[in-house]
Amino acid sequence: MERQRMKFTFPPDLVTQPVIYNMGKQFHVVTNIRRANVSRDRGWMILEISGGEAEIQRAIQWAKEQGVRVDPIEGDIVAG
């Protein structure tokens, strides 16, 4: 099972939408929120995504198509 850590940055119109839930249901990936900061008009989250490599890539591409900015993260953001 592949595991990737990504930073998701949400525009105001997506802050109240269940993007992470929908991504997990649609692409059969497991999401683990490592850190997040969400307010009424903006939000970001460090997300660990586990699953098959192809499914993870499809899920990330889908999130980008929804309007989420996705950036890779290296290392353990919680421990460090």
Structural domain spans, the chain: 2-41+53-72
Give residue-wise pLDDT tens across range 33-80. 999 999 988 999 999 999 999 999 999 999 999 999 999 997 654 444
pTM for this prediction: 0.87
Structure tokens at 47: 């997300």
Measured between alpha carbons, how far is 11 from 4 in angstroms, rounded to an integer? 22
Q: Given this model, what pLDDT does residue 75 score? A: 61
pLDDT for the residue 80 = 42
pLDDT of 40: 86
Beta bridge partners of residue 72, listed in sequence order: 6
Q: Report, as an integer, the average pLDDT of 10-34.
A: 95
